[in-house]
Structure 1
Amino acid sequence: MKTIKTFLLMLFIAFSNLAFAANPSVPQEGGKQYAEVIKGNDTLMVNPMNKNLYGGPEVEAIKNWGIHSPNAVGWGNIFTILQGNYFSTIFAIIVILVPLAFLTHFMVVGQKKFEHGKKIRVFSNYNIIVHWCAAVPFVVLCLTGLVMIFGDKLGGGSFVRFARDVHGIATILFVIFGVLMFLMWIKHALFRAYDIQWLMIMGGYLSKEKKPVPAGKFNAGQKMWFWVCTVGGFIMAISGAYMYFQFADIETLRMMALLHNVLGFLVIALLITHIYMAVFAIEGALNSIIDGHMGEEEIAILHSYYYKEINAA
């Protein structure tokens, strides 16, 4: 009985505190912000890794946070507007419209097919292992990132927190193998003059004809994906670390969040493109990064400059 009375008393005190606590949605006495009138704020909100962000400095950060704050400065306004209203919508548009565009391409132009009689070795076992060890965590990063973007639509809770934790682990794996992949293929990913021609004809993917396309071992589209995946991926890893560990002031964290999301648009769109090209656009193209071989006709048509290099060697 005594235990029950103690529990009820504690419950009453808790509800009383809530009833008379400051309301975050309205200005407090003297026009002060919510955090300025909460007693013990410095004690409750201290992050040992960043004492310059929480506690007292956190009050100043909140004062220039929102769209309607008369003292708003820096990235507060644009961050609040984009993060609260547009980022998730843009990601949803990309996830829906990009696959629809490629579905239309598949139905109208169709899959490119080549003779696969004679095979030429284009990727070594090392190339294949490093590619997949970087690719798998990269795809996991994109999927778990989308889970966090749409976390409120997915009900939040443990599932989203699990996705966040997996996101962090996958980042470490990607950075390790991403560096190896960058060093492995940077020479082939450098842009050449003929890549402009490739872009002008969109790599020949809008035509059903089999005409030699100006491209080296990697075409211009693959090169763009390489740089976005590696350099863009590394930048996202750095900005993600800033947000996760919060070892910066609020303005820097806002900029990192904006950068992370904008790069995310590009990464998701190009990842879908890369998967479509490898799995659907060209018959058997995925096999080249599984067994390392590509059909001679496919190389001669889609990688004509590389084909000349092979024959000249």
Structure 2
Amino acid sequence: MKLKYILLTLLALTSLAFASESAIYGKELIPNILGYDKEGSLHLGQWFTLLQSKYFKPIFLGVLLGVPTAFFIHYLIIGPMIFSHDRKKIYVFSVFHRVIHTIAAISFILLIPTGVVMVFGDFFGGGEFVRVNKEIHAISTLLFVISVVPMLFMWLKDMLPTSDDIKWLMILGGYLNKRKDPIPAGRFNAGQKMWFYVCTFGGIIMILTGAIMFFQDFKFDFIASLGLSQIDLLRLSAIIHNILGFAVLALFMTHIYMSVFAIKGAIHSIISGYKEEEEVEILHSSFYKKLKEDKKV
């Protein structure tokens, strides 16, 4: 009985997201999508519409405007971290790492703007422009599919949580001051780890939920065995996809800011494979200590 109430709550929220898909394309994606009186539905259409109009679009807009604004203020007040380029360069990313990262980066550069256009499809007037973005979004997903599994396995060991992550979070990675104090972090810091988990595990979930919404005419016996109808599954997929979308949008913009603006020259490490020694010594002090112990520095 408890499971039934949990599913009812989730599906009430899910109704919101899938309603947005109907609004985007200017018509209902499947007949009687709100399911007010449809036999076998959970009759959550009214909640579906209410939540869509009150929460998802404002949250997306808040993330879209709020995150860049916060970083702009940070750049004006604190400014970028600048490290010496006169010391030794440390090889941190292999060719394979860089190729996979590049494929993932291209996919996100396409997925995120097209996803935003789909969310605000009514603002863009729907029609052909939004439909083209939908197709680009779907094609870009294939690029992400190619990169996400290799990326998951090649970095998972270095992304496992450590005590350094708590220390890093307590000082926000040292980004709120201009000093060059050694920051407790391994090869990847807590911020990079958050992006990794959202990008990989969250990304895989977004692939699955996106596929369910894209290929709507399907039947899964195990879904029926849980007492869920096709429309229930679509609504549940949409709510999960939207919630993860908030995190992906916010963390992707953070990743861009940190690699391009907040740390001068940091983006070159994923191009050449090398980081400046001082950057590693300060921003990844635990990793640097290990390199010294192993006589690699």
TM-score if structure 2 supplies the norm length?
0.81
Q: Which secondary structure state, in structure 2, belongs to the residue aligned with residue 123 of structure 1?
A: coil
**Aligned pair 1:306/2:287, yes or no?**
yes
The 1-side partners of 2:44 and 2:174 are apart by 43
| RMSD value, Cα | 2.1
- Matched with 2:276 is 295
Select 1:104's aligned residue among 50, 73, 78: 73
Which residue does 2:241 correspond to in 1?
A: 260
CA distance in 2, matches of 1:141, 1:59: 26
Larger mean Cα displacement after TM superposition, 151-160 or 93-102? 151-160
Q: Which has the larger radius of gyration?
A: 1
User: In the alignment, is residue 181 of structure 1 matched against residue 147 of structure 2?
Assistant: no
Residue correspondence of structure 1 range 69-148 to structure 2 within 5 A: 73=42, 75-117=44-86, 118-148=88-118
**Counterpart in the other structure of 1:63:** 37
Of 72-81 and 91-100, more deviation after overlay is shown by: 72-81
- Structure 1 equivalent of residue 223 of structure 2: none
**Distance in 2 of aligned mates of 1:259 and 1:114:** 40
Cα offset for 1:86?
Answer: 2.5
| Cα 1:267–1:174 shift into 2, 3 Å | same
1:207: Cα distance to partner?
1.1
Inter-partner Cα distance in structure 1 for 2:236 and 2:35: 14
Q: Supply the AA of the counterpart residue of 2:114.
A: T
Return the alpha-carbon distance in structure 1 between the equivalents of residues 162 and 142 of structure 2.
Answer: 32
The residue type paired with residue 233 of structure 2 is T
SS state of the match for residue 35, structure 2?
Answer: helix
Which blocks of at least 5 consecutive residues in structure 1 are unaligned? 1-46, 48-52, 66-70
Paired amino acid for 1:161: R
Cα distance in 1 for residues equivalent to 2:105 and 2:152: 12
Residues 267-299 of structure 1 deviation map (CA, whole Å, 9 limit, x = unaligned):
101111000000000010000101011110100
Q: Runs of at least 4 residues of structure 1 off by over 6 A? A: none
* Structure 1 residues 63 and 84: CA distance shift in structure 2, 3 A: farther
User: SS in structure 2 opposite 1:191?
Assistant: coil
- Alignment check: 8 A CA contact 1:76 1:251 kept: no
Structure with larger RCO (C-alpha < 8 A, sep 6+): 2
Q: Distance in 2 between the 1:216 and 1:59 partners?
A: 49
The one-letter amino acid of 2:211's match is A
Q: Secondary structure at the match of 1:206?
A: coil
Is 1:207–2:156 an aligned residue pair?
A: no
SS of equivalent to 2:275: strand
Answer whether contact 1:182 1:230 (CA < 8 A) is retained: yes
- Compared with structure 1, are the counterparts of its residues 201 and 64 closer, same or farther at alpha carbon in structure 2 (3 Å cutoff)? farther
Contact 1:239–1:257 under 8 Å retained in 2:
yes
State the TM-score, normalized to the length of structure 1. Answer: 0.77
Give the share of equivalent positions with the same residue, in percent. Answer: 50
Q: Which residue of 2 aligns with 1:244?
A: 214
The answer to whether the Cα contact below 8 Å between 1:213 and 1:304 also exists between their aligned partners in 2 is yes
- Give the 3 Å change call, closer, same or farther, for CA 306–74 of structure 1 in structure 2: farther
Alignment partner of 1:290: what SS? Answer: helix
The answer for unaligned runs of 5 or more in structure 2 is 1-28, 220-229
Separation of aligned partners in 2, 1:147 and 1:59:
22
2:251 is equivalent to residue 277 of structure 1:
no
Secondary structure class of the residue paired with 2:193: helix
